[in-house]
Structure formats: C-alpha cells, structure tokens
Structure 1
Amino acid sequence: MEPVLVLDQLDKSFGGLTVTYNVSFSVMPGEISAIIGPNGAGKTTLFNQITGNLLPDKGRILFKNEQITGLRPQEIVARGMGRSFQITSIFPEESVLENVRISCLSRRKEVLNPFRNVARFKEATDQAYFILESLGLAKHAERPAFELAHGDQKLLDIGIALGLEPQLLLLDEPTAGMSPDERQLTRDLIKRLWEEFNLTLIFIEHDMDIVFGIAQIVRVLQLGRLLAEGPPEEIRNNPEVITAYLGEEVR
C-alpha cells in the first residue's frame, strides 16, 4: 500500500529562525495520527506547508503520489485535502447551513451561480444537512454562525472542511478553548467522523487524553525537528519525549 502523504526533508525558516528542519515522514491511507509538541515546535507551520499556505524553503511534499510542493491551497483542496484551523475560518454572518453548503457547492464548482444547476444545489443542501447531523449541529442550521458557542464554531469549521469531500483531513487543535466535557465529546466525534467519512486524518492537539485515546500514530515535534514517531504507548514511554514534552505524570 502506497502512502497517501509523504513529507521529504521539509525546511522552513523566517529570518534567522528555523521553524521546521529536515522533517520527513509518511502517512498511510486510513491512518488517524496526531502531531504533538511544545508551543513553537512548528506544528502549525508544518500544516501550512502541507496545505500550500507556506512554501517550504527546501524539501518536497507528495500527496497521492503527486508532488504538490508549490501548489496553491485551492489546487491542493481540489486534489482531496481538507483542513480546519486553530482560529476558526467560518462565514460569521451566514447561516450554519450556508457555511457548509458553500463548501459543498465549491466542491461542485457551483459557488458563483448555485441556481444554474438546481439538482446540484439540492444535492449540496442534502449533503450539508448530513454533515451537520453528523456534527450535532443540524438544530442550529438556520442560525447565523456567529451566534454559535465557541465549541460549536470549531465543529462548524470541521464541517466546512468535510463539505470539500477530503480524503485527507488536517485538524489544527480541534479542541482549543473547549471545556473538559466539550473536549471529550469532540474526541469521540473526531473518531466517529474518521470512521464514518472513511478519512485519513492528522490532528494537532495538546490534550494528551485525546491524543493517546484515538491516535494510531503519534509524531512529536521539538524546535522544528521530528523528535519521535510511533504508536501511542511507544511515544508515552520514550525518554526523550518525556523529557522534552510529556513529563513523568503522563506515563
């Protein structure tokens, strides 16, 4: 089986600050994995390189055996990659339904004139409702997105990404700012979405209960370098990872 994503010696610097250095790893189809590390380790910068928001200074990125290094974000999305953001990227004045429907229509290239093809518009609406049902947001479908609680806005951001029908989904700190109860519900939701939508999924997360609860593979960044990667128990007991990030209490 071929990897769905390959990172090959990615470097990125800003001025004299190296943010990622010689990062290489492969992600297999259907894998659910986590990227962890201290603040400033380069996790979001790495996501930005994968999704085309930043151009690596060196190295290459392969997605489904095609080199995507240097492609624009929309070109990468069109190839089957989706992403949610640490700071939500939603249309606050639009309804919850419309946020996801716009994404579904975008996938069908119907955003500029959604009524040109009534069948596709209905199909996109049905798909948007299905996604909202999966996220537990259907009851808020007609509300403006800005009225949602923070946790629900984070879920809506995931819904927008799902509307693009990704094969690979990247989630940047999906539980940031949530209460402990919300984080646990979101952990279960992420696992269910991974199964229900048949995704390959990579997420950045600081909550180790979530990381060790659902990730098959954990990758650890420190100062822009890949410190370790492996199954959760291996990472949990890795002396370098304990010293650099986890601490003894996580074992």
Structure 2
Amino acid sequence: MKRLTRLALASLAFCGLVATAQAETLRIATEGAYPPFNYVDSKNQLHGFDVDIANALCAKLKVECTLVAQDWDGIIPALLAKKYDAVVASMVITEERQKKVAFTDRYYRTRLAVAVAKGSELKDTRPESFKGLVVGAQSATTQGMYAEDIYGAAGAEVKLYPSQDEANADLATGRLDALVHDKFPLLDWLAKDGNDCCVLLGDIQGTDDEVAIAVRQEDNALRERLNKALAEMVADGTYKQIASRYFPFDIY
C-alpha cells in the first residue's frame, strides 16, 4: 500500500510538473499581413509592433512565447477553438467583439483615414462626397464596417477584401476610387509601396478607437496578468522603446 501511495504521489507530482510546463507557454496569434504592426518577411518570420509587444509581454510574464500567423477572418473563431491563448493583432475593441471575447486594457489608440489615387477630385472624407464612387476596405474589420455603414449608406459602392494587401493593390491599379484603412498602417503603405500612386485624403473624424489584446471570456486570470504586464511596460519605458522603432509620434 505504501508503495502504491508513493507511486500515486509521484504520478501526481509528475502531472503537476507537466501542467506547470504547459502553463509556462503562452500561445499568441497575429495576422502577419498588417505592416508595420504585423507582417511576415521573406524567411516566413513574423515581425512588427504587435509581435514585439507580444514578445515583451511574454518576457514580463516569464513564459515561453509561441507566435502563429492566422488569417484575419478566422482569428476569433480559432481563439475560441483554443488553438491559441491570446490575439495580439491590432484588434479594435467593439461591442460586437466583446460578445465573443474579453479584451485587456488598450496598448494603442488608432483612427480611420482615407487614401485616394493621385489626381483624385475628392476633397474631403465626408460621406456625401463618396456617392457613386467605389470604396474599398478589408472585410471583418472596423474600417470595413465603417465603409459599409457610412459610405455605403451615402451611395458608395463598397468592396470588401480578405486582406489589406488586396485592397491596397486595387487602389493602386485604379479599381477603387478610395480606400478606408487604419491611419498608421495606411501611412506606412503610402510611404513605401503606395508612394507613386496614392495619397492620404484625410482622417475620418470621430473614429478614434482603442486597440487591445483579445482572450477567451473565461480566461480572466490571463487577462489580468496581461494587464499587469502592459502597465509595467508602460511604466518602465519598455513600451516607448518598442513604439519608437516604428512611429515618430505617440500612439499610446
């Protein structure tokens, strides 16, 4: 009996060690198609502001970080299916998303903006200016919803794309009259690939939003740990150091 008890205790201890080891790995998803926040290089490695924030959070939490790229349309369903533990992918907090997932405190603020082809006759971002025009945006995003709800309602034809790269390409080739996008990645694209064809028309006033990390609603303990780590990163300068690699202005 004593031997059996010792074996049972040893088995429980082993299981406890395995559980601890598993708990020390945090699986995080990002999109990989949203520069400069997240993108994949020629060697299929993830980079960007979101990726650096995720790695810094894991360092603060003293856990091993496993990062995976996930298409945007499936990013919340895969989180709910427990394919990973958190999403660090520039996800804006919305009421609709809060019905499905829980969000941490923000890790940056953003707003929407519009880009057009050089030589466009558009002068402002008011909805009535887009009547009869073709406006593009990425599907299942805040910019996609805005384009449909506001510009579509004002008489624009709205085209939605699976990825931002596809939307950008159609503006560059003249298939779109305008493109609605988050301002910071839009500026990044215009400064690089879109510089020859397109320009910023302007910000869309009143669209300021907070971006946060998404976790499953039942994972409140993880959400609180991430909030604590985020606060520490802001306080000790880690956040500012990361942000300065990508932006010459404050996005927090």
TM-score between both structures, scaled by the size of structure 1? 0.26
TM-score by length of 2: 0.26
